[in-house]
Amino acid sequence: MSESDYALERRQMVAEQIARRGLREPRLLAAIEAVPRHRFVDAANRLWAYADNPLPIGHGQTISQPYIVALMINLLRLRGDERVLEVGTGSGYQAAILAHLAAEVHTVEFVPELAESARRMFEELGLNNVSCHIGDGSLGWKEAAPYEAVIVAAAAPRAPRPLLEQLAEGGRLVVPVGGRGYQELEIWHRHGDDFSMEKGIGVAFVPLLGEYGWKSGF
Ligand code: SAH
């Protein structure tokens, strides 16, 4: 397939999987349309890069279904001037979309090989407002805190306290909370030293590991 074939598939993905399901914010749709999802998956999976499902990215990890990426990013209500933290870089796909929607993106990944290939992709795509750090993202990334938005791409047993602490005033945290096979999204909002929380839809993510994650997986 040529780049223009992929671009056509991408436009269809945005129309059929995302806009048709009710996510119609133009900035969000434009950001998703700007990111070549096929370059973030293994060559063996390229043909399915724009399908309506998650895909393996190696190391037992997956790149989320496009609709779930769109839905979670939409919950952050980004306007363009924010500093954002993503936990779980994986392939770098979601971070690349965030880079189009916010001023500065910090993303933390446990698996060094995944972080390194994501960094290469950010460089190839000229995304110079994303920094990818290797480490335990359940602890957040203190060096660049506070963040107007934090998004976790793995399932946590509960909203990790360090991520709540690293939220800026008025900031939002979106995190899937629950165990193997089923979690619910939680959307946390900071007001001074108080936090409010709303529940979102049911999802299925790989486990968040680390100090505030599932210590030995699910
Ligand atoms: N956002 C990614 C998909 C993430 S899959 C994408 O767009 O491709 C979840 C990722 O979280 C995996 O890569 C896994 O290695 C990572 N992960 C799990 N626990 C982590 C932790 N405590 N800190 C950082 N990364 C973690």
**Whether pLDDT at 47 is above 90:** yes
Rounded to whole angstroms, how far apart are CA atoms 154 and 167?
A: 18
Q: Atom 18 of ligand 1 has which residue's CA nearest to it?
A: 208
Yes or no: say if 121 and 43 are a contact pair by the CB < 8 Å rule.
no
Percent pLDDT > 70 in the chain is 100
Domains of the chain, each with CATH number or no CATH? 53-203 (3.40.50.150)
* CB neighbour list of residue 46: distance below 8 Å, 6 or more residues apart: 1, 38
Burial of 197-213, coded b for 16+ CB within 10 Å and e otherwise, reads: eeeeeebbbbbbbbebb
Q: Is the pLDDT of residue 39 over 90?
A: yes
Give residue 95 CA to ligand 1 midpoint distance, Å: 11
Backbone angles phi, psi at 99, to 5 degrees: -60, -25
User: Taking a C-beta distance cutoff of 8 angstroms, is the pair 107, 133 a contact?
Assistant: yes
Strand residues in the chain grouped as ranges (E): 55-58, 61-63, 83-87, 104-109, 130-134, 147-152, 167-179, 182-191, 194-203
| pLDDT tens digits along 89-135 | 999 999 999 999 999 999 999 999 999 999 999 999 999 999 999 99
Which pTM does this prediction carry? 0.98
Any idea what DSSP says for residue 48?
G
Q: Indicate if the pLDDT at residue 60 is higher than 90.
A: no
Q: Where are the alpha helices (DSSP H) in 47-196?
A: 66-75, 93-101, 112-124, 161-165
Pocket of ligand 1 (CB under 6 A): 57, 61-64, 87-88, 90-91, 93-94, 108-111, 114, 136-138, 153-154, 206, 208-210, 213
Residue tagged active-site, from 2, 4, 64, 138: 64
